[in-house]
Amino acid sequence: MHPRDLPGAARWVRHALLARPDESAGQLRLRLRQQRTPAWDLVCVTDGGRLLGSLSAAELLSLPEAQLLGAAAHASWPRATAGTSNERMASIALHHGVSALPVVDEAGALRYVAGPRDLMNVLRREHVQDLHRLAGIARESAQAPQALHAAPLRRVRHRLPWLLAGLAGSAAATLVVARYEHAMAALPAVAFFMPGLVYLADAIGTQSETIAVRGLSLSHMSLRQLFAAELRTGLLLGLVLSAVAFPLVLAVFGNPRLATAVALALAIASTLASTLGLAMPALLQRLGADPAYGSGPIATIVQDVLTLVVYFGCVSLVVL
């Protein structure tokens, strides 16, 4: 918003009450009583447009009449630069416990103040976007409202192709199991661990997506950094689960090779699953497809097939 001239003030900045450093608290309060002032959320002391410090309305009301605002203003009051994202500004305000945040340009000149309503709107929008991400709905996607309001037949047309792709993936998973029929014939206990491994991989993928999405509004990591962090997290989870599973399988079945195969497969599947739930919606969006329909079925079946391939690969390597 561009500044404009106002009677009795050098200029008006959105949501800011401008004051000079040589102006006293009594003079500013008198000016507020005598002049019609636009709504403001923060007292900003400026010199030649450059922000020197800020103070809240409660502090202004409690200052002595002769107190100079240049000395009373907090130079350490948190601020943001003009290029800072809305999400980051809300994070700064929350971190410092302030309800208004001045925004300055590269030269330190005051541009505007992000007030409580601005910050609340940002937090609400980010909350809604987080829910959309959890549901696999792309931010600012024109297809997202269609997923909610389309007629049943149109919804079927949107959803059926992805489910058919999931059916094809199920057939692929069946072929993987059939490919290792000899392994299950030689050691029937191999089949006992397939449901548990598939479930744990799916659970880890869902956990990773939920936790990562929750932090997106407060963190500004790139997708590459986020995937790398989740990859390491999945590896650590897999190692812990493997350390728990190995003695249990060994105690029940008395087969150290089978226990090793299960533990190894669990570690690898957990590592892969931790990133797949995040990668699939992003990939579908880049391909121009609506993640609201495709990310769930596709991510699930791809994860299941990969888990089975990893498991039977470990069985072939260690047990057979």
For residue 139, what pLDDT is reported?
Answer: 46
**Angular region, 254: left φ>0, alpha ψ -120 to 50, beta rest:** left
Digitized pLDDT (tens) for each residue of the chain, 320 residues in all: 333 333 333 344 677 888 889 989 898 888 888 877 777 878 888 888 889 989 888 888 899 999 999 899 888 899 988 888 887 888 888 888 888 888 898 888 888 888 888 888 887 877 666 665 555 444 444 555 555 566 777 777 767 776 787 788 788 888 888 888 888 888 888 889 898 998 888 888 777 766 655 555 455 566 677 778 888 888 899 999 999 999 999 999 899 999 999 999 999 998 888 887 777 766 766 666 655 555 566 777 788 888 889 999 898 888 87
For residue 138, what pLDDT is reported?
Answer: 45
For residue 186, what pLDDT is reported?
Answer: 82
Rounded Cα distance, 54 and 40, in Å:
12
**How crowded is residue 235: how many other Cβ atoms within 10 Å of its Cβ?**
16
CATH no. for 136-318: 1.10.357.20
Looking at residue 224, its amino acid is R
CATH fold, domain 4-120, is CBS-domain (3.10.580)
Q: Where are the domains of the chain?
A: 4-120, 136-318
**How crowded is residue 98: how many other Cβ atoms within 10 Å of its Cβ?**
20
For residue 263, what pLDDT is reported?
Answer: 93
315-318 long-range contacts, CB within 8 A, separation 24+: 315/180, 315/183, 315/190, 315/258, 315/261, 315/265, 316/180, 316/183, 317/261, 318/257, 318/258, 318/260, 318/261, 318/264
